[in-house]
Structure 1
């Protein structure tokens, strides 16, 4: 039990400390000044900067301003020295009327920190008004048989000052029949009444004039007077009497005009004219007299103006009833006005920021608002809200001030601007509301890097493109704004070689070729493109680009075999007389530097000495016999082979292949030397004779030149060949590799033979003549091969010619 009690005491102490701290903070934000009324314009009220602990030099920079709610501007703040001074003469009675405490409220708002400090200036009353009476002359009718000690109410003096400066008492001039008595009401007001001290005799004194003086307690005291004219009447021994001494009614402020507020009642026991009663207002404020009408005969009080709780919550007046004999009675009437919810809350923006950066932290102040409701009680209880779907909150700052702050980090790319509707709703029935819209622009920060539309770019371009031509364009997007979204493009710094082949427009992202690409040189280029925005610091992103070079048919087929000899002669191939159809004579080997279908080669015979004797493989280039050889077939067959690719348009090359029909090389030479043109009785014999003589002469001179050239050639190659052997020139023996990876092999046929003049026989070992051409066959020759025409032109030269081999593909 003691432990539980200790815990309760600790909790109560903690709550008390928290409440005390809150009260201290609230008090610390309230500044109180007091000045006397009638203070002239420009008078000093107080030093705001000093009292708030602010540096007077920074007032204008910190956005400090003074706000007065619901009243004229009576004060101003000097932003140079921080003094608060009056802007006009201040009259307490004009501002606060009969209120005992007169306070003018204002707020000092520090703009940069969104803090609000309350300032209240109490206006102290001075004795600047003398007591006054409603009428200059008061007529009192008193019957001559009025009992001694009867009291007759006199006019109340009015003094708008308060406290000791207001009415403190009354004095009556000297009179032998009357004295003055002052009564104090429950509320502390003093009322003067005339008391009859001696009997009246109308015949002796029909009337008399008295002076009633009211004085206040100021220094010096001020007074006001009114004349009391007493008329002595004949006897009327019963005065009218009100049914109540105090009448009190309550009405809502929305009571319609013409409504009967109250009906006064009074009784008089006299008869005749002394019983006829008249009702009237005895004491009533000028403003109240315009709101209510009193029927003098019926005593009915009717509303003739609009009452407003916010202006005057109650009306107090004194009513009087008088009979026909001059006797009267008085009573107090209090009309209480109750509040209705007829005023919507008033929202005022005292400080606002129209733009905020999107990376501002949660809790950033956007605006400071003040809400007021002229109603009272629950009708003045106001709740301020903002839409739930917006990232903003309203927090109460001070008294009726609210701060609009961000509830989370903003994103300009999602919402670039907000129209924030702040709604104030009171608690009345039915509730009234008002709203205001705050426009807020979200300022951009560079929080988004550029992003490309594709993850990887693959581009194709035909080779032989023109220099400077546009290849393709890249596009990157940046959801930021302004300079933060301005994108520049560049090729990655690590791709140094690419920068000599390609360039990119930094503004548009268009890539240009700086050179004409050759598919046979390289087939693709890979590089990185960087997109960088203009923010500070800037953000960037890169993307991989692969540029594929597409092949064009820009290379003609290259014939590797048979190759064109340097001396201009053609290669000679041997075909035995006994060859069967399909015998492989030779093979034309060609390659194409292009790729794909542009490198697909086809072979065809364009021209043949004996059409139909030979055929060539369309795709292999193999030249084979198409039939058996006949005796009538020429021993020397000349074939023109066309090699064509499959491009569009196709490109081609041709080569001439000479085929000799012989079983051995010596036989082929003898057969070739004995070849003569067949007799043709239809031909011109003279023409052929002339041609033959010219041809033989040319061969003779050619033989001499060739013989001289061979001697020189043999001498030069003696260091390279053993026993006079040399490699057959013009015929490659190594293998070839095409661009598309297909290997073409050079095949060799080797024949060793020797030629002698006279009756010597040929030594002719057989070569390898099969359908399949062996690869890598070594090949040697003793002397270069001589055509039969050259031998015939030697005229029996006894020199021996050695032929090493004939190489074929």
Structure 2
């Protein structure tokens, strides 16, 4: 046998083994595919046929039309072909909807000896999710020549072999099927042998050579015959092999097996070198002709690597690794041969027992991520395909996912599962999910595998900005610089990206004057409020405004918060003295105190106010400077000037008191006022005292003396006029009797009962007169500042009662409230009125 013929025989054996494996595995694949076609076929099955070996791009069928879709819908609904295998034999044109060949198909490589070669493809429509199945039948063409594994076969036949003895000839292999497969054998013409073609149980034909005429080694020792195998194609194709018959001498008994068929079962995980079966053959000859050797015949290359037979013992052992998923059973042919060349054949059928050695396989067919958080419950998130190569319980798969996830698995069609949402999704609660899908088979022990999916949720603008507080109160010190940062409001938005980008603004109320924009402004990005003017607490103490936070979503969402701005007082106002009022010409007011006043006598009261508030407006009064220290005291908080002791003869007639009024601010501010107190029982006494203190007038001061006398005279006239005027008024108020009794005691009333100097001022200022008294050695002024009111201090019989001021309004022609005045006279039991 030539090397070329041996190579062809090895190739034929290899092809035969491949076809046998494809036949066994394709049966299971086609069974699953046929079940899958029930998914969407209904009454109409999508089925095409195409010859093998077609070029890439060859037309198979109009899939869009058969699915009832327009070509434009293929891309819109994301129609595509899904396949679990690595080879993609078909492709779908999304524009025309035609199904075409994507890779040249070899039917023999794909289906082996299966008569009807069907490929099932799965068509996935993603919107909405729908699954279809289509069958494509691969038609066989006569592209293979029948071939023998060996180009030369040697048969040793004893010359005593009886006619009618049959000899097995080598089988030819033709990968084609149907009429294109092997159909007949023929033997070249000869005198001794004939050929009989038989059919095996599987429909495969084989040839047996029959000895028709006894052989005579002495006539011819070797017979060379040509065996031809022919297929049924059009045109027919054939292959040949040479049969060399070597005639042996005198061994007329062939070995005989004790069984015609040996059967056994073997686990697929059996260790190498383990025996699986032992055969036995007997030969009736004696001597060397009875010695039998065993061998495996007609093995493919793959089978020859799996099994080995001991030629002496007939024991068959495992040399490789069995795989139930690749081959479920093996049919081996064994030969027993004696030394004379006689042989006989038998068969060994080994059934491989499945072991749970394959974990389930999870294939993610489609994953719809990212997904909108507003997707309703029941939305398909992923489409999964689960497959286990094992069989029986070992191939039954259950799927599960982690607990506490808002998802569930539902079975779809065939081995397909859908992962769907079970609850409403919220990106603000959880923005992404790592979902682990676990598949476990039913074997013992069970095997499992897992597949992780990442689901990302797309944000929707479903959350408005929110402020941590319902309202804010902030404080700002008055006299702030323009542009001062007042306060920062901060809102949060649990959304993402532009949906969480917040801008701030101040809301204006319709018709608000002046507008808030003239007071404050806000940074739209940071929410910081700035003052646009300097605030004065004394004019403006509180500002109510509303800040709006708006996100960048579509449509935008917003929320409001109330902000109250309180202006904080600053000690920026000094105390203002209301009484005694400060004249504009620099003169000092005069207060009258009777010389007979005792300790604690109320001389006057300094009244001051402070425009500030709080402790900045708390005022305290102190005596800063006095003509006679220790003679007067000032109430710390009341401002009342009282005598600290009785007057002495040595005390000066004119007492000047400097009163300081100070607030409680930081730093404190103050104001001062000078109060002049004239110590005398009456105005004439004041004038007399001032005259007695004067010295002889020298020629240079004579003019001053004349002026003083003139002023005193004029003052007396005015004083008399005031007394007459008061008498007339009192008569009109029906108090004539009281006035007559009072006029009788004008000279004897005590000095403590007097009309205050303010009353004198009011009458004198009505006529706009001033009296100035001047001496040579001491100069003093008795000032009557302009005023529209007259204060009359009325005496009370109760020594502890305070003076009751009665206001006489000169602007109303000195018409007093008659009832008020009468009541005052009666309640006070007035006896005298002194000026």
TM-score range, shorter chain: 0.7 to 0.9
* Counterparts of 2:751 and 2:132, CA distance in 1: 119
1:650 matched residue in structure 2: 668
Question: How far apart are 1:475 and its partner, in Å?
Answer: 1.9
* Counterparts of 1:249 and 1:140, CA distance in 2: 31
1:5 matched residue in structure 2: none
Question: How far apart are 1:652 and its partner, in Å?
Answer: 2.2
TM-aligned CA distance change 1:776 to 1:312, over 3 Å: farther
1:737 matched residue in structure 2: none
Aligned 8 A contact 1:586 1:622 in 2: yes
* Counterparts of 1:805 and 1:336, CA distance in 2: 137
Question: Which of these residues, 622, 634, 639, is aligned with residue 640 of structure 2?
Answer: 622
Q: In the alignment, is residue 520 of structure 1 matched against residue 538 of structure 2?
A: yes
* Counterparts of 1:222 and 1:768, CA distance in 2: 163
SS in 2 for 1:477: coil
Question: Which of these residues, 32, 36, 39, is aligned with residue 51 of structure 2?
Answer: 36
* Counterparts of 1:622 and 1:149, CA distance in 2: 162
1:416 matched residue in structure 2: 431
Aligned 8 A contact 2:224 2:243 in 1: yes
1:465 matched residue in structure 2: 480
TM-aligned CA distance change 1:213 to 1:673, over 3 Å: same
SS in 2 for 1:408: coil
1:605-644 aligned at under 5 Å gives the runs 605-644=623-662
Q: In the alignment, is residue 287 of structure 1 matched against residue 298 of structure 2?
A: no
Q: What stretches of structure 1 of length at least 5 have no aligned partner?
A: 1-19, 678-684, 726-751, 754-760, 793-803
1:92 matched residue in structure 2: 107
1:570-581 aligned at under 5 Å gives the runs 570-581=588-599
2:3 matched residue in structure 1: none
Aligned 8 A contact 1:666 1:762 in 2: no
2:116 matched residue in structure 1: 101
* Counterparts of 1:378 and 1:657, CA distance in 2: 118
Aligned 8 A contact 2:593 2:679 in 1: yes
SS in 2 for 1:667: helix
TM-aligned CA distance change 1:361 to 1:778, over 3 Å: farther
User: TM-score if structure 1 supplies the norm length?
Assistant: 0.79
TM-aligned CA distance change 1:419 to 1:764, over 3 Å: farther
SS in 2 for 1:598: helix
* Counterparts of 2:454 and 2:386, CA distance in 1: 19
1:789 matched residue in structure 2: 773
2:290 matched residue in structure 1: 275
Question: How far apart are 1:101 and its partner, in Å?
Answer: 3.2
1:733-772 aligned at under 5 Å gives the runs none
* Counterparts of 1:157 and 1:467, CA distance in 2: 107
Q: What stretches of structure 2 of length at least 5 have no aligned partner?
A: 1-34, 730-738, 777-788, 794-804, 806-835
Question: Which of these residues, 677, 683, 687, is aligned with residue 659 of structure 1?
Answer: 677
* Counterparts of 1:645 and 1:230, CA distance in 2: 143
1:377-396 aligned at under 5 Å gives the runs 377-396=392-411
SS in 2 for 1:405: strand
* Counterparts of 1:21 and 1:274, CA distance in 2: 60
TM-aligned CA distance change 1:547 to 1:295, over 3 Å: same
Aligned 8 A contact 2:759 2:791 in 1: no
Aligned 8 A contact 1:29 1:116 in 2: no
Alignment deviations for residues 139-182 of structure 1 (CA, whole Å, 9 cap, x no partner): 44444444454433333333222234333444445555544444
* Counterparts of 1:271 and 1:428, CA distance in 2: 55
1:346 matched residue in structure 2: 361
Question: How far apart are 1:540 and its partner, in Å?
Answer: 1.9
2:68 matched residue in structure 1: 53
* Counterparts of 1:325 and 1:267, CA distance in 2: 14
1:668 matched residue in structure 2: 686
Alignment deviations for residues 511-553 of structure 1 (CA, whole Å, 9 cap, x no partner): 2222222222233222222222222222222222222222222
* Counterparts of 2:209 and 2:671, CA distance in 1: 151
TM-aligned CA distance change 1:352 to 1:764, over 3 Å: farther
2:343 matched residue in structure 1: 328
Aligned 8 A contact 2:262 2:347 in 1: yes
Aligned 8 A contact 1:724 1:783 in 2: no
* Counterparts of 1:131 and 1:599, CA distance in 2: 123
TM-aligned CA distance change 1:791 to 1:112, over 3 Å: same
TM-aligned CA distance change 1:630 to 1:420, over 3 Å: same
* Counterparts of 1:543 and 1:204, CA distance in 2: 124
1:125 matched residue in structure 2: 140
1:3 matched residue in structure 2: none
TM-aligned CA distance change 1:765 to 1:648, over 3 Å: farther
* Counterparts of 2:53 and 2:42, CA distance in 1: 29
Question: Which of these residues, 255, 258, 265, is aligned with residue 243 of structure 1?
Answer: 258
Alignment deviations for residues 268-322 of structure 1 (CA, whole Å, 9 cap, x no partner): 1211122112223343334323332333333233333333333333222322212
Question: How far apart are 1:211 and its partner, in Å?
Answer: 4.6
Question: How far apart are 1:202 and its partner, in Å?
Answer: 5.2
SS in 1 for 2:650: coil
1:75-224 aligned at under 5 Å gives the runs 75-172=90-187, 177-198=192-213, 208-224=223-239
Question: How far apart are 1:212 and its partner, in Å?
Answer: 4.2
Aligned 8 A contact 1:581 1:625 in 2: yes
Aligned 8 A contact 1:207 1:230 in 2: yes
SS in 1 for 2:481: coil
* Counterparts of 2:277 and 2:416, CA distance in 1: 43
Aligned 8 A contact 1:116 1:397 in 2: no
Question: Which of these residues, 496, 500, 521, is aligned with residue 503 of structure 1?
Answer: 521
TM-aligned CA distance change 1:507 to 1:41, over 3 Å: closer
Alignment deviations for residues 569-622 of structure 1 (CA, whole Å, 9 cap, x no partner): 443333333322222222222222222222222223333333333322222222
TM-aligned CA distance change 1:765 to 1:84, over 3 Å: farther
2:85 matched residue in structure 1: 70
Question: How far apart are 1:466 and its partner, in Å?
Answer: 2.0
32-41 or 525-534, which deviates more: 32-41
Question: Which of these residues, 400, 404, 422, is aligned with residue 415 of structure 2?
Answer: 400
SS in 1 for 2:475: strand
SS in 1 for 2:423: coil
* Counterparts of 1:71 and 1:499, CA distance in 2: 70
Question: How far apart are 1:267 and its partner, in Å?
Answer: 0.7
SS in 1 for 2:296: strand
Number of aligned residues: 729
TM-aligned CA distance change 1:90 to 1:545, over 3 Å: closer
SS in 2 for 1:378: helix
Alignment deviations for residues 759-806 of structure 1 (CA, whole Å, 9 cap, x no partner): xx9978979967999x999986786676472899xxxxxxxxxxx966
TM-aligned CA distance change 1:139 to 1:568, over 3 Å: closer
TM-aligned CA distance change 1:219 to 1:620, over 3 Å: same
| CA RMSD across the alignment | 4.2
Write out the 4+ residue segments of structure 1 that deviate beyond 6 Å after TM superposition: 700-704, 721-725, 761-768, 770-773, 775-782
SS in 1 for 2:175: coil
SS in 2 for 1:789: strand
TM-aligned CA distance change 1:691 to 1:557, over 3 Å: farther
778-787 or 258-267, which deviates more: 778-787
SS in 1 for 2:545: strand
Aligned 8 A contact 2:40 2:131 in 1: no
1:736 matched residue in structure 2: none
Question: How far apart are 1:242 and its partner, in Å?
Answer: 0.6
